[in-house]
Structure 1
Amino acid sequence: MQQTKLQVKYNTAPKRKLALVSLLLASFMALMDTTIVNIVIPDILTYFSVDLSKVSWVTTGYNLAFGILLISASKLADQFGRKKVFIGGLIAFTLTSLLCGISTSIQALIVFRILQGLTASFIVPVTMPIAIDIVDKNKKGLIIGVWGAVSGFAAALGPVLGGILSEEFGWQSIFFVNIPIGIITLALATFYLRETYDHNASKKIDYLGSITLTISLFCLTFSFAKASELGWSSQPIILLFISFLATFLLFLFIEKKAAEPIFPLNFLKVRTFTFSSLTLFILGVSLTSGTLLITIYLTNVMNFSSMKSGLIISSLAFSSMFTSIISGKFSDKLGGVKFSFFGMLGMCISTFLYATLNQDSSLYYIILLLCLTGLSLGMVIGPAMGSSIRQISENKVGIASGTINMMRAVGQALGIALLTTVLTMNISNYISIAKNESIEIVNNSKILKTEVKSEIISSLKSDTKITPSSNSIVTDKIKVAETKALQNSPEIYHAEIKKQFKQQEQESLKIFKEVSKSFSSNIDKAFSDTFILAGILSFFGIITSLFSDVNPKRKYKIYNL
């Protein structure tokens, strides 16, 4: 077979297959870790005794670090060797997985997750260009489809595997599982991968571009994450937004002037690349509702175990695999627009339908919505990735691959930061409403004594969630008061005293049922409002998908940028 400068010879079919297996395993592992933590967030909350806004950084930190360095890692791999960068990333990823698993504080876990995300950015963007180099040119579309399918399936399967592992072995096991996978992948990559380069790439590295992009994205994500704590109009949040805007504009200026930019702005001239990247960015934001928010709802609101929640979410993973195979097979022939459009439409519809969930929702209904999300995800990710590089010359696929993966990862990071912040604020607001409604219910009771009302109201003010123990605390105090009254009264009045206190107990039980209903209803509204926001954001992906590809049956231009 005649080879280009970038191509290397894989002498036998088994070697090709083992090389591809190493790439798929590594990509699967790194992408799965973007979502695997979602299912164990309640366990980490309890283990370290911290709040949601802090724990969300275990996920956000990984996704942000992963997204920020993808382009830089792609550039380094093109210049200095993709195999070197890939193997270095694998070793570092395996080590940081171990460090995450043995973390003794939430601060340490966040730091190690950020480092793990940085190492993942040296794995994912190089897998596709190496894979394209391994197979024949006529199978390029198939490889892109397979990579898209694996990407979607890995992200969707994360919560499933996380739920099973955490239930059986503890939440730390979701990190330890990477160690044997990493070792196997490292062995395969060492023996069966061959080194490839972009021979047109310069050895210069755009340090200023990398630094300004990193600062810019950090400021934006951190502002979203801290808004619930400080308030959107607070001085620190406003300063973070201003810093984001200033550093992003500086980044664009640097990239325009740089001889070897980390992000070639002329890529934006390629319509298919630009709109596919935007579609994947919005997909990353949308995916948060189908993984993280639903996970929190199932575990914290519906009180399902991590394993049960993971198995429920598995419907998303397996349904995405089904459409990924179909879209990957046909999008290269039919074009990606049809698949991306209907996929984003399905994502938008399913996200809005999540807003209809309540604590009495049928399990079958939840699974149906997750299947719709999964089917939609599978229709988007492969075709959008294929469309993004369709008009990009082969020697620039590496940097293009890094960019599109960055867009999706940053979308996920921003989605997590924004939607968890909005959810936290919504829960706080609706809990306040529930407390006011509940206090009114208590005060309107004509049976409860003043001291019992005060006890219930005191319990309501200190609780953020009404549980059976909330009522038992009050009933226990009623019984103590009853015992005291009986001791201080003649026996002739005991029957009447018992009757009065029995009425107090029954009334308090009735009151707590109404109060519990108010709290449940308002918690559902908090999630509903958050899902509606996610649905509105995903709507823009429908628009961008319409411009994400060319007709592959017609002749189209290849840009050698």
Structure 2
Amino acid sequence: MNKLKGVLPVLLLGNLLCMMDVSIMTIVLPEIQSAFGESLTELSWALNVYTITFATLIIPFGRLAERFGQNKFVFGGLLVFGTGSLLTGMAPNLAWMLVARAVQSVGAAAIIPTSMVIGLDLSSMANRNRVVAALAGIQGLAVALGPTIGGIVAQYWGWRWVFFINVPLVIIDLLVFGFVLPLRHEKTVHVKIDWLGALLSMIMLFSFSLGLIKGNDWGWHTGTILGLFILATGSFLLFLLWERHTANPMVDLALFHSRNFSGSGLALVLCNFFLGGLAVLLPTFLTRVHGTSELKAALLMTPYSVTVMLTVILTSLIIKRINNKLILTVGFLLMGVSYYLLSTVPLGSNYRHLIVADILLGLGYGLVAATANILVVADFHGSRLTSSQSVANVLRQVGMVLAIAVFTTLLTSNVSQAKQNTMTDARVRINRLSNLSTGQRQRLTKKLQHKLQPTSTTVSATNSTVKPTVVTVSTATRLQKTDQAYQTALQKLAVTQQISPALLPQTVKQKIHHTVSQVVNQKITQKIHQLNQELANLVQSVHHTLKHQLNHAFLNVFTALSWLPFAAISIIPIFKFRHTT
């Protein structure tokens, strides 16, 4: 136990950094979007490449660690993760970033499952729950803390330091590592790796995620999207068939004979899906729709991060005293209420409503995740204990991958519709401006079309504002209109006096010209002022409509999925009535 006290902080720091980078990008996505000029849909792959690679390599890396030495494997994983973090921070474009993020995830996959095995090997049966709760809890906390820490770092040092900051922390962990965990003369076990199973799972995750994310762009009924879903289904079925008959399966399907394991697996997928949805949408919602800074957005997300941390700790302490089904039920109910509140966040600057929803989601996630993390390993010992923890890690990532894909897909569709609604409303308002010529209406409509980009899924209510068009009348036009009015006035006066306009006295002509010039210029000035005021009101109205529409585009995602946390309660009967140790 004394040795565990020295090792655990090193393992916790490694787990914290790896899992934090699952969600830390969400807060800086808007800033990276501006830097790289990419859409939110394309940038979502910077999140997906991390989670998909991570989920696919966790189990085979767990086996490789047994072959080459678990301590050396975690040490090497930290080196790779630190290198990937440095490369990600240096990224000049999206392609570079995707490769760098993949390098990061390779290191994370080497660290996460093996850290849990090292911790469990050094712990006794009496304190196993605490070790599992600590390592699994730090993972959930890291996902929750990612946006908050990322926002603070980005605000003061820029988005690149969100990744650079990992490097000194990794170096510290590596320096301490050699003192608490031996790297020489480790016990190793010769095991075979199920590379075919790993390949099939990667094909399944990648094709399913790509199909969900690109469904709107490519069309849900196109051959490409249908082919991706068929490929995902086929690879999944082949994966199950292969795993049942291979001697060294990537996933021991016998694990699912345990009701606690099956129920916990589903619970982990679902709770990470619900947490991931908030982590993906909220930063962009706050910075691009409500116009807050990254720092303020991070602070608004802090309540749920703190709540997750406290709830995970408390749940791990009381889990033996309270019926597990009750804890899970309350957790899913709280997440359901949170999603309902998130679907009704007002457009104003009062964020109390949002903070309450944050806290409820943190409470719900903490209750479900902490309970599931403990129950997922409750029925196993030896090699199956290792396998159960590895599969649990995969399922957590599956939840995050699904969240990124599903929430991004729904948001993309909603944003496109929001922009189209705004453009339709703008056209109606432009046609009501009777003082504009047809050409001016067309030019104004084209300008709005270019600024709003209704077919684009780029989210921004703050950068899509059209500057009011200022209408002016040239001096030549004023003189022309004055002369026309002057000639008309002369004709009327000449007709009245029944003489030729040329015979009118010069002093009379000068007086008429002066009076007509004043009247004409006054009318022109009034008309211009009225028209410019109408245009300013139009632009203000378009901006308000866009912000209102984008606000609902985000909230409607939570509305569409608010039923799911309540439906998740249906998995509760899968668990044993009560787990005791």
Give TM-score scaled by structure 1 length: 0.91
Q: Does the 8 A contact of 1:69 with 1:121 survive in 2?
A: yes
1:547 is aligned to 574
1:513 is aligned to 540
What is the distance in 2 between the residues matched to 1:334 and 1:201? Answer: 39
1:430 is aligned to 418
2:207 is aligned to 219
SS at match of 1:118: helix
Report matched runs for 1:367-446 at 5 Å: 367-446=355-434
379 and 180 in structure 1: CA distance in 2 versus 1, 3 angstrom threshold: same
Name the aligned partner's letter for residue 393 of structure 2: N
- Which whole-Å deviations, capped at 9, do the CAs of 1:385-432 have from their partners, x for residues lacking one? 101111112432222111111111121012102211221121112211
1:40 is aligned to 28
What is the distance in 2 between the residues matched to 1:229 and 1:207? Answer: 33
How far the C-alpha of 1:202 sits from its partner, in A, is 5.8
1:96 is aligned to 84
Query: Which of these residues, 532, 554, 560, is aligned with residue 527 of structure 1?
Result: 554
What is the distance in 1 between the residues matched to 2:367 and 2:109? Answer: 24
Q: Does 1:141 align with 2:134?
A: no
Which of 153-162 and 343-352 deviates more? 343-352
- Which whole-Å deviations, capped at 9, do the CAs of 1:323-346 have from their partners, x for residues lacking one? 111101111343533222211221
Q: Does the 8 A contact of 2:465 with 2:543 survive in 1?
A: no
Which of 511-520 and 17-26 deviates more? 511-520
Name the aligned partner's letter for residue 570 of structure 2: I
Name the aligned partner's letter for residue 223 of structure 1: G
- Which whole-Å deviations, capped at 9, do the CAs of 1:174-217 have from their partners, x for residues lacking one? 11111111112122222212589999976111111111111111
1:4 is aligned to none
1:241 is aligned to 229
SS at match of 2:348: coil
What is the distance in 2 between the residues matched to 1:320 and 1:511? Answer: 45
395 and 85 in structure 1: CA distance in 2 versus 1, 3 angstrom threshold: same
23 and 297 in structure 1: CA distance in 2 versus 1, 3 angstrom threshold: same
Report matched runs for 1:299-310 at 5 Å: 299-310=287-298
Q: Does the 8 A contact of 2:448 with 2:466 survive in 1?
A: no
Q: Does 1:503 align with 2:541?
A: no
2:4 is aligned to 16
Query: Which of these residues, 173, 176, 199, is aligned with residue 161 of structure 2?
Result: 173
Name the aligned partner's letter for residue 170 of structure 1: G
2:70 is aligned to 82
How far the C-alpha of 1:305 sits from its partner, in A, is 0.9
How far the C-alpha of 1:371 sits from its partner, in A, is 1.3
How far the C-alpha of 1:546 sits from its partner, in A, is 4.4
How far the C-alpha of 1:154 sits from its partner, in A, is 0.8
Structure 2, unaligned runs of 5 or more = 453-459, 483-516
Q: Does the 8 A contact of 2:340 with 2:559 survive in 1?
A: yes
1:52 is aligned to 40
Give TM-score scaled by structure 2 length: 0.88
What is the distance in 1 between the residues matched to 2:298 and 2:244? Answer: 46
What is the distance in 1 between the residues matched to 2:563 and 2:106? Answer: 31
2:334 is aligned to 346
How far the C-alpha of 1:449 sits from its partner, in A, is 4.6
SS at match of 1:551: coil
Query: Which of these residues, 29, 35, 39, is aligned with residue 17 of structure 2?
Result: 29
1:295 is aligned to 283
Q: Does the 8 A contact of 2:117 with 2:386 survive in 1?
A: yes
How far the C-alpha of 1:547 sits from its partner, in A, is 2.7
How far the C-alpha of 1:543 sits from its partner, in A, is 2.3
Name the aligned partner's letter for residue 323 of structure 1: T
Identity across matched positions, percent: 27
2:271 is aligned to 283
Which of 28-37 and 145-154 deviates more? 145-154
Q: Does 1:486 align with 2:481?
A: no
Q: Which structure has the larger Rg?
A: 2
1:70 is aligned to 58
- Which whole-Å deviations, capped at 9, do the CAs of 1:4-24 have from their partners, x for residues lacking one? xxxxxx6xx3x4322111011
What is the distance in 2 between the residues matched to 1:510 and 1:473? Answer: 9
SS at match of 1:390: coil
- Which whole-Å deviations, capped at 9, do the CAs of 1:106-161 have from their partners, x for residues lacking one? 10101110221122111111222211222332111122222232122111110111
172 and 468 in structure 1: CA distance in 2 versus 1, 3 angstrom threshold: closer
SS at match of 1:350: helix
SS at match of 1:55: helix
1:456 is aligned to 444
549 and 453 in structure 1: CA distance in 2 versus 1, 3 angstrom threshold: farther
Name the aligned partner's letter for residue 254 of structure 1: W
- Which whole-Å deviations, capped at 9, do the CAs of 1:307-337 have from their partners, x for residues lacking one? 1111111111111112111101111343533
- Which whole-Å deviations, capped at 9, do the CAs of 1:26-68 have from their partners, x for residues lacking one? 1111111100011000111111111111111111111111111
Report matched runs for 1:317-336 at 5 Å: 317-336=305-324
111 and 536 in structure 1: CA distance in 2 versus 1, 3 angstrom threshold: farther
What is the distance in 2 between the residues matched to 1:546 and 1:383? Answer: 15
1:108 is aligned to 96
Which of 521-530 and 120-129 deviates more? 521-530
22 and 483 in structure 1: CA distance in 2 versus 1, 3 angstrom threshold: farther
1:154 is aligned to 142
119 and 454 in structure 1: CA distance in 2 versus 1, 3 angstrom threshold: same
SS at match of 2:221: coil
Name the aligned partner's letter for residue 131 of structure 1: G
84 and 541 in structure 1: CA distance in 2 versus 1, 3 angstrom threshold: farther
- Which whole-Å deviations, capped at 9, do the CAs of 1:488-509 have from their partners, x for residues lacking one? 4433311110000111011122
What is the distance in 2 between the residues matched to 1:126 and 1:360? Answer: 47
Structure 1, unaligned runs of 5 or more = 1-9, 556-561
Name the aligned partner's letter for residue 478 of structure 2: L
Between 1 and 2, higher relative CO (CA 8 Å, sep ≥ 6) is seen in: 1
How far the C-alpha of 1:370 sits from its partner, in A, is 1.0
SS at match of 1:125: helix
What is the distance in 2 between the residues matched to 1:467 and 1:389? Answer: 48
1:3 is aligned to none
Which of 280-289 and 74-83 deviates more? 74-83
- Which whole-Å deviations, capped at 9, do the CAs of 1:56-83 have from their partners, x for residues lacking one? 1111111111111112222222444321
Work out the number of aligned pairs and report it: 539
Name the aligned partner's letter for residue 281 of structure 2: L
